[in-house]
Chains A and B, each alone.
Chain A
Amino acid sequence: MTARAVTEATFEQEVLKNDRAVLVDFWAEWCGPCRAVSPILDQIATEHSDKLDIVKLNVDENPNLAMKYQITAIPAFKVFEKGEVVKTVIGAKPKPALEADLAAFIS
């Protein structure tokens, strides 16, 4: 399952008003580590689709949201619950490390 893309137009509905916990992957085409970690996120999205929603936000195309959430390094992963950021993870990591960081939301 490929994590679906969200934009500034759909962010409120898809993320802020989402009933479930949702992880937003802030990424860009020119960021090598973002591309490297993308299949790992897709795997986590597939394996834990019942617990955590995972979406991608392209910072090039959606700069206002990147600025609003003070993104200064990507990939950056922010988990939202009830419209609030409850967890931030920065940097591409191997799957076990990322799963450990997200344990509260996927186990």
Chain B
Amino acid sequence: MRDIIIIGSGPAGFTAAIYAARAELKPLLIASSVEIGGELMNTTEVENYPGFPEGIMGPDLMAKFQAQAERFGTEVVYDDVVELEVEGPVKRVKLGNGGVEEARAIIYATGSAYRKLGLPEEEVLSGHGLSWCATCDGFFFRQKTIAVVGGGDSAMEEATFLTRFADKVYIIHRRDTLKASKIMQQRAFDNEKIEFIWNAEVTAIHGDTQVNGVTLRDTETGDVRALDLDGLFVAIGNDPRTHLVHGKLELTPEGTIAVEGRSTRTSVEGVFAAGDVIDPTYRQAITAAGTGATAALDAEHYLAALGNENAAEAVLETEFAVVD
């Protein structure tokens, strides 16, 4: 049995691994099969991660995280967790390949998943002009007219990135102010290929086999209109990825995993959670890395106490043995 298994390979998971490995806990990190590195793998330039004054590409940053974790002895497995047993002193993690790993402690850092618009045509048109990944799919919209839905940093970043390819990029936002940071907003405002459509929500996506437009509803007046488009990129936020722990760990009203105070301790002993999956508010690479470090320290503390308990029990057993 291992001391610790870390589930997730974003900034939280790998930072937890760096700390746990340096504490000589020989962590096993389960990185997923096709989403290794997490959300930053689908971004371009990361400009707000300290220590990289010139900026760094998201995938390059994650490669460095991983290299640093592996340097101290983290073992990385490229598979998905399909089932998790968290009760009791031995935690069990079942993998996609059928294997089972056991550990005394778990750090759960599965991050979040792209939020969908919730429209029935989304399923059919996904990958046919409807996308959640500008860096993957922007290339196919050269000289086209497209739109990004959303008002946060990722919407601004995607829209700005997409102007490399598209002739025209609308940003559709349901309010009249943006949540995005000032610098990202300004970049979008200054870009002549970008046009904002305020107070609008997408109520339908048009096209049988390929996106050719959307229906927009004005959130103030209720007016409805059609907008012709060749593609639609959705960046309306993320939801914490908690499906593996439903009914096993307590969640908050926001849907994130509940943790005790400023710690990363969940409702189950020996299970710690870090990163976007516990964070309904900030969701930055640096804050995820921060709680990743906290989780490793919390887990280390837990394991040390467990070690003392086991040692004490061993002593008791010896004493009983003598009494017998």
Contact = CB atoms under 8 A, between A and B. Distances in A.
Q: Do A and B come from one complex?
A: yes
Interface of A: 28, 30-34, 36-37, 39-40, 59-60, 66, 70-74, 76, 90-96
Given A31-B135, A31-B136, A90-B128, 19 more contacts: A30-B139, A32-B42, A32-B136, A33-B34, A36-B36, A40-B33, A60-B139, A70-B128, A70-B210, A73-B126, A73-B140, A76-B127, A92-B34, A92-B35, A93-B34, A94-B96, A95-B33, A95-B96, A96-B96
A30 B80 contact: no
Contacts of B36: 36
Question: Could you say which of B34, B131, B140 has the most chain A C-beta atoms within 10 Å of its C-beta?
Answer: B34
Chain B: interface size category: 20 to 34
B131 A72 contact: yes
A14 to B, nearest CB: 23
Contacts of A92: 34-35
B158 to A, nearest CB: 14
Which of A36, A73, A96 has its CB near the most chain B CB atoms (within 10 A)?
A73
A49 to B, nearest CB: 20
B198 interface: no
A59 B41 CA distance: 19
A34 B41 CA distance: 11
14 contacts: A28-B139, A31-B136, A32-B37, A34-B136, A36-B33, A59-B139, A72-B127, A72-B141, A72-B210, A73-B126, A73-B127, A73-B137, A73-B140, A95-B96
B270 interface: no
B286 interface: no
Nearest to A75: B136
A76 to B, nearest CB: 7
Given A30-B135, A36-B34, A36-B35, A72 B129 contact: yes
A73 B33 CA distance: 20
A32 B135 contact: yes
Interface string B131-146: 1010111011100000
B59 A73 contact: no
B10 interface: no
Contact of B34 (A30, A37, A74): A37
Interface string B1-43: 0000000000000000000000000000000111111000110
